Structure 1
Amino acid sequence: MKILVLGATGGTGRLIVRDALAKGHEVVALVRSKARAAGLAGAELVEGDALDEAALTRAMAGCDAVVSSLGTAMSPFREVTTLSTATRALVGVMERQGVRRLVCITGMGAGDSRGHGGFLYDRLILPLLLRKVYQDKDRQEDAIRASALDWIIVRPTVLNDEPARGRVRALTDLSGVHGGKIARADVADFVVQQLTADTWLRQTPLITW
């Protein structure tokens, strides 16, 4: 399978590229600058902005699926629109190109996973530091849900750089869930699995250890 990865230069995105290549996929990475793409050996690099439909169209040529691991910095006061704007552009290009499979990473606190991060996360971190970001993640998820794509939205708990454990819990029933953590490497493995699996099709699994 040939896949396009957005956010490939981020901490999780790099691992997604590496994991996908290791599993035999062809990978195209849309990057703002090839100079910042060290460590993506084996991927085809296309320079461009994820907000630019022309760049997305160019990068998506010949692809069978897309992974979005786009992220944005904390923004306690300024409105955030990058994630939702890029995702609306992406959905439009995918629908025009006939590329159906989209696996998108958002996070714990998006949509109906809000309120399941534990006391510190739910009462302090999310409302004080991440509120604007998660409002945009909600808009991002809404754009995906409204599409005709074969989508899977993956919501990791708090990310870390510990070694992969090789197993995750994927949940849509969040009763009793109050926080959690997971390695970026395990997120990458789970995301790449969703390119060819329908278990979570059109669902929003929260993944954690």
Structure 2
Amino acid sequence: MKIAIIGAAGMAGKAAYQEAVERGHEVVGIVRNEEKGRAVLGSDARLLVKDAFDLEKSDLSGFDVIINAFATAPDKAYLHVDLAAKLVALFRETSSPRLFFILGAGSLLDHNDRLFVETIKTIPGADAWISIPVNQYKQLEFLRQVDNVNWVGVSPSAQFVEGEKHTPVLGKTHLLTAADGKSHTTSGTMAVAILDEIEKPSVHQDRFTVSD
């Protein structure tokens, strides 16, 4: 398949890029900084050097799947919603490309059926970055209103960290815990889950979650 990855130089984007290449897909990383992109993905990486908000339909129409691994600073967290809206607007009333959004854990429910983002707000020092999970939750709420675009979302567990891949454990609406009793997902495990879903689609216009 032809796969484009927005934010390919970031933690999640890099892992998805590497997993897709390893599986033999035709992958293009979309990055703002070519030097950083090649440093992260390799000198021979296929790149489209362009800001995500400058992307046009003609840049993306040839792909089967577009993975949105966009990340931003807390003071610009609203851009998560804005970019989702832009991508959806480009591909209204289409079935291809499939839009694959990497979301946050804040929109998941804990064992008391309480939004995890409410727990995140109580973490000491969270005021400095809480806007990111809050806006990722808003991003999912926006996507849930979209019924004429081929989209899917995925959320990691409570801790999303760079790391090697493991066999993914999948869920839908609630936080998962790994075998060690903790809630975590590595970037490698996330990449495996994303590529598995791309190759064998099972989720349509909905969100799932993945754990180590």
TM-score normalised to structure 2 length: 0.81
Cα distance in 2 between the residues matched to 1:176 and 1:35:
37
CA-CA distance at 1:202 after TM superposition: 2.4
Following superposition of structure 1 onto structure 2, how do residues 7-86 of structure 1 map, counting pairs within 5 Å? 7-38=7-38, 39-41=40-42, 43-52=45-54, 55-73=55-73, 75=74, 78=75, 80-86=77-83
Q: Give identity over the alignment, percent.
A: 19
CA distance in 1 between partners of 2:172 and 2:145 (Å): 19
Q: Which residue of 1 aligns with 2:165?
A: 164
Contact 1:50–1:56 at 8 Å: present in 2 too?
A: no
Aligned partner of 1:91 in structure 2 is: 88
**Relative to 1, partners in 2 of residues 1:196 and 1:164: Cα closer, same or farther, differing over 3 Å?**
closer
Q: Any gaps of 5 or more consecutive residues in structure 1?
A: none
Q: CA RMSD in A?
A: 2.8
Q: Distance in 2 between matches of 1:199 and 1:80?
A: 29
Q: CA deviation at 1:205?
A: 1.4
Tell me which of 184, 205, 208 is aligned to 2:208: 205
The amino acid of 2:206's aligned partner reads Q
Kept in 1: contact 2:169–2:211 (CA 8 A): yes
Relative to the length of structure 1, the TM-score reads 0.82
In the alignment of these two chains, the number of paired residues is: 202
Q: C-alpha distance in 2, partners of 1:175/1:46?
A: 35
Query: One-letter code of the match for 1:51?
Result: F
CA displacement, residues 79-120 of structure 1 (integer Å, 9 cap, x when unaligned):
63211111111112233776241211111112656634896x
Q: Which residue of 1 aligns with 2:133?
A: 134
